């Protein structure tokens, strides 16, 4: 069974910059100014609500990515995403076995710190895979060969408005193809880096190395986590429909 993701300094820092925490701070400042009429009261109230917002965000993050390995199901996504998730989970399980075998001391303490980042990396990998699956499913709904045949017919009939709509669908298919190809390359690289760092940490532990030897590996895992998070956010953004695809009443501005 996996350990829950703790409230590390990294997760707290991210939560402190979350929309929930920032909005809570703004609301707190307004309430403090309204109730006390002074700047000090506004600042104090803003800090209190910001802290509450940060704590709530961390708890939500733990609930959503809380590290219960059973919640990660590689078979819930198709290839190649399944392969990446399965390898990440396998690496984490190997790391857990090495951590259990490590003797108490500075080395084990360092391994425990890295384990938290490894868990975050596995959870991010899983979330990227799920988002990538959504993009893949959207791409499958666009039958490019059929669309091209339809476009030829519409162009030959001189129906330009309908032809323009079909061209837009083909452009969407091409964009999704590019997103899928880029995500595959990046996720493959990041998962390999995470697995490599785990293997190196296990080797150092097995050879009873120094805990200082793990400092660089911990930084590597943290960097992989950050890049996985950036990839997930980019996927979410790429999955959003462009403004001109929304009904007029829902378009921004």
What are the pLDDT tens digits along the chain (253 aa)?
Answer: 232 333 444 445 555 655 566 666 666 666 666 666 666 766 777 688 767 767 666 555 444 444 434 489 999 999 999 999 999 999 999 999 988 888 888 888 888 989 999 999 999 999 999 999 999 999 999 899 999 999 999 999 989 999 999 999 999 999 999 999 999 999 999 999 999 999 998 888 887 666 667 778 888 999 999 999 999 999 888 765 544 443 444 343 4
User: What's the confidence (pLDDT) of residue 137?
Assistant: 93
**Which residues, other chains included, contact 251 with Cβ-Cβ below 8 Å and sequence gap of 6+?**
243, 244
pTM value is 0.65
| pLDDT for res 244 | 45
Cβ pair 138, 193 in contact under 8 A:
no
Amino acid 205: pLDDT: 80
| Count of beta carbons in the 10 Å neighbourhood of residue 194 | 28
Q: Please report the pLDDT score of residue 42 as a whole number.
A: 64
Question: Measured between alpha carbons, how far apart are the two ends of the chain, in Å?
Answer: 49
| CA 131 to each of CA 17, 63, 234, 246: distance values in angstroms, whole numbers, following the listed order | 23, 18, 10, 21
pLDDT, position 169: 92
Cis peptide before 97 (omega within 30 of 0): no
Q: CA angle, corner 212, sides to 211 and 215, nearest 5?
A: 105
């Amino acid at each position: 069974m996996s350990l829950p993701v703790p409230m590390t300094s990294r997760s707290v820092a991210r939560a402190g910059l979350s929309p929930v925490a920032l909005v809570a701070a703004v609301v707190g400042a307004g309430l403090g100014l309204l109730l006390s009429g002074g700047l000090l009261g506004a600042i104090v109230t803003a800090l209190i609500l910001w802290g509450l917002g940060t704590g709530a965000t961390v708890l939500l993050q733990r609930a959503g990515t809380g590290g219960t390995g059973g919640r990660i199901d590689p078979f819930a996504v198709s290839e190649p995403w399944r392969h990446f998730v399965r390898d990440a989970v396998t690496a984490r399980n190997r790391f857990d076995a090495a951590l259990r075998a490590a003797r108490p001391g500075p080395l084990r303490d360092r391994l425990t710190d890295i384990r938290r980042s490894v868990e975050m990396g596995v959870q991010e990998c899983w979330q990227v895979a799920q988002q990538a699956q959504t993009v893949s499913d959207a791409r499958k709904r666009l039958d490019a060969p059929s669309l091209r045949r339809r476009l030829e017919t519409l162009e030959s009939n001189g129906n330009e408005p309908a032809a323009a709509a079909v061209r837009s669908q083909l452009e969407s298919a091409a964009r999704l193809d590019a997103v899928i190809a880029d995500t595959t390359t990046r996720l493959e690289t990041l998962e390999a880096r995470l697995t490599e760092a785990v293997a190196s940490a296990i080797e150092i532990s097995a050879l009873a190395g120094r805990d200082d030897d793990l400092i660089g590996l911990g930084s590597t895992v943290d960097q992989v986590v950050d890049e996985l998070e950036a990839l997930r956010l980019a996927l979410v953004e790429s999955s959003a429909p462009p403004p001109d695809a929304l009904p007029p009443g829902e378009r921004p501005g």
